Structure 1
Amino acid sequence: MSSIGLQRPFGDLRRKIKGGELGPIPVVVGLIIIAAVFQSANGQFLSAQNLSNLAVQIASTGVMAIGVVLVLLLGEIDLSVGSVSGLTAAAMVILNVQLGWPAAIAIAAAVAFGAVIGLVHGLIFAKAGVPAFILTLAGLIGWQGLQLFILGNHGTINIPYQGGIASLANTFYPPAVGYALGAVVVATHLLSTIKQRQRRREAGLRTQPLLQLLVRAALLLVLLVGVTAVLGKWRGVPLSLLIFGGLVVITDLVLRRTRFGRRIFAVGGNIEAARRAGINVARVRISVFVLCSAFAAVGGLLAASRLFAVNQQSGSGDVLLNAIAAAVIGGTSLFGGRGSTYSALLGMLVIGAVSNGMDLLNQVSSVKFMITGAVLLAAVVIDSLSRRNRNASGRA
């Protein structure tokens, strides 16, 4: 019996790979290769100081990528996340620095502002039928213009270095906090999977072996303990990383364990079938665009906190492209209906590691852009090939 329990996970893995369900395997392999190459070229790449800097650097764009993942699950795209992040960050700083609002209220107002922007996008998309690409492209231009307007002649507004908004990206906790949170995450994950396994068994559905669930939980615990130990050797566990990781975990639980999450996958997988099943497609679409812009606002706040300022360039440059690239590189399908918010985490690790490693090697931006583009192209090719394999196996 135990032999069957040990063999079955590997059989399931082989079957998924053969059917095109590669999951995070290509990304994890890519990360290992990237780490090995840069560590051999520069011994500081895997140092505690550099990894801590990398964790802080990827948090802001990574949070934006979570919202992009949600939109991609619908089979749509949002090109306005960069502009929304810059605009909401500018609004937050004006409220806090110039108007004297408390930091917490200014942050909440900025996130609410982002959600309202997403509501506007969602209503126009779902009710008026404007294609998401054109709609959010107009948003990219329009919201950036509004950002320039409210900043006015100031151009740049600095944030005080102590407390308030600056604490979001510049607060570090001792390793004990990381270990405690890691234990909570692993316990929650294990209890959730065991409960789901019990429900599937009661429904007469196929379940995963308990040993497999325990092994996964143990590996997750080892990973979290290792990351915390490494970060603890420098300044500690960054608050911005906890915010990013917490949003990834919470959003994934919503997608996998709630009716709303299942409806997102249903709409992205087959909109007509979802509509016939009684799902309010318009409501799901509007909700996703609201969440996407809200996540963009949170990302903008983290970016402003890390740089201690908001200026006319906030949210511009390669922010949008990196957010979309992270979602796709991490494994979220461009065709909708397949993906995970962990794609944002994995994809940002790839993009951040490449950028960080190139900086350590004193490479120019042109080389970083070309390598990031090549990685993105490879991810899209893998997605297209795996989708073709799934369709072929389905017909068979």
Structure 2
Amino acid sequence: MSSTTVRPAHKPYSPKRAVERMRRGDLGAWPVVGGLIAIAVVFGSLNEHFLSPENLTNLALQMAATGTISLGIIMVLLLGEIDLAAGSVSGLCAVIMTIMNVRQGWNPLLAIVVAVAAGAAIGLVHGLLFTRVRMPSFVVTLAGLIGWQGLLLFLLGERGTINLPFDGFVAKLSDTWLPPWLAWTLAVALVGAYGGSLLLGRRLRIAADLPVGPASWAVVRAGLLAVVLAAAVVVLQADRGVPLLLVIFAALVVILDLVLRHTAFGRWMYAVGGNAEAARRAGINVTRIRVLAFVLSGSLAAFGGILAASRLSAVNQSSGGSDMLLMAIAAAVIGGTSLFGGRGRTYAALLGILVIQAITNGMLLLNLDSSVRYMVTASVLALAVAIDSLARRGSTP
């Protein structure tokens, strides 16, 4: 077996290391955070309703579906590939779920499971065509974008729209709000779990005789998370409360981040994306990792489509269409996921979709034309890719 190093050992996060990364051009999530602050200041000064609890609650609802699809896009982007069929898959699987639930009378939970399984099966087909037939992922998923959209239209038939019961389980997903006690309990539990994971990781590194950062920095990071979560709960509770859709999306972000950072599968994903040949020589089954990435993308696209159907309480011919795919890809890239593979976090979907939805929401409040919104979003996307390219150039020895 080759002694080629697939991925350098993970170093503890510390202020000193963060400064070193910035000097190399790797700015991490800081440009996105700065962009969010700038967006809040600009639109907040131009329209007093932008930062109101009601508008911020609507913003949280709007980003859940596209953000979930963006999580799947990230799985593929980590390998340096692309999934152009995610939008069509989301719409198709939402239609499958709705037909089973409304027309066939299936239990809604069973219909959701089958729809997500259908998305996973579609992802499996894409992955096998990419790995076994050696078709470029761009071509495979471009064909899927067209073909699955055609199947969606076929299943909908001439009527073109299927409404979900307003009092049904699926529709209630987007109209369920956590009571204050539960929202605060979840926030405290999340901060406790995050702080505990930092301390546990530090203890394990010390036991393994690995370098560790200062304990005070772990406390600062947990404190910052507590401040952010407390502010979010206070603002959302000032309106209708914390929406269940936001909790579902956030849970997916956290779970997938833990999988990518703390499991062998996650390390293999980064290794394959960073250098597929080195990963193969190190004994990693590159084909399996690539197929699983497309399966995850299809599954998350399906679930995102179901969340979108819940918001609309219906599916129609435009489900999964319009600019949903482009916004999902843009969210991943703007959030910091590299188009070249090997670098990115699931939090990129959360940060990126926040930027896009905030821009969209702010411009709608200002009654600006959609053409302006598209041009501004394109400029932000181009800037994000430019930063990524410069970061890669700066980190190249």
- Supply the AA of the counterpart residue of 1:238: P
Partner-residue secondary structure (3-state), 2:340 = coil
Q: Which residue number in structure 2 is paired with residue 46 of structure 1?
A: 51
Select between 197-206 and 155-164 the one with higher mean Cα deviation: 197-206
Q: TM-score, normalised by structure 2?
A: 0.96
Residue identity in the other structure for 1:136: T
Shift of 1:203: 2.3
1:172 equivalenced with 2:177 (yes/no): yes
What's the offset of the Cα at 1:120? 0.9
The whole-number CA distance in structure 1 between the counterparts of 2:277 and 2:64 is 36
Between the aligned partners of 1:165 and 1:338, the Cα distance in structure 2 is: 35
Q: In the alignment, which residue of structure 1 is the partner of 2:229?
A: 224
Q: Give the aligned partner of residue 141 of structure 1.
A: 146
CA distance in 2, matches of 1:127, 1:209: 47
Pick one of 154, 158, 170 that aligns with 1:153.
Answer: 158
The equivalent residue for 1:329 is 334
Matched, 1:213 2:233: no
The corresponding residue for 2:367 is 362
In the other structure, the counterpart of 1:317 is: 322
Note the alpha carbon deviations across 1:339-385, whole angstroms, 9 max, x for none.
00000000000000000000100111111101000000000001101
Matching residue of 1:285: 290
Q: How many pairs align?
A: 385
**One-letter amino acid of the counterpart of residue 143, structure 2:** A
Q: Distance in 2 between matches of 1:347 and 1:176?
A: 29
Percent identity, please: 57
Q: Kindly report which structure 2 residues correspond to 1:1-396, keeping only aligned pairs within 5 A, or say none.
A: 9-391=14-396, 395=397
CA distance in 2, matches of 1:340, 1:228: 24
Which structure 1 residue ranges, 5 or more long, are not aligned? 1-7
Q: TM-score, normalised by structure 1?
A: 0.96
Query: How far apart are residue 160 of structure 1 and its match?
Result: 1.0
Aligned to 1:3: none
Q: Which amino acid aligns with 2:374?
A: F
Deviation at 1:162, TM superposition (A): 1.0
RMSD of aligned C-alpha atoms? Answer: 1.0
SS of equivalent residue, structure 1 residue 310: strand
Shift of 1:142: 0.4
Measure the CA separation in 2 of the matches of 1:119 and 1:308.
Answer: 29
Q: CA deviation at 1:10?
A: 3.3
* SS of equivalent to 2:315: strand
Q: Kindly state the Cα deviation for residue 208 of structure 1 after the two structures are TM-superposed.
A: 1.4
In proportion to residue count, which structure has more helix? Answer: 1
Q: 143-152 or 194-203: which moved more?
A: 194-203
* Unmatched runs of 5 consecutive residues or more in structure 2: 1-12
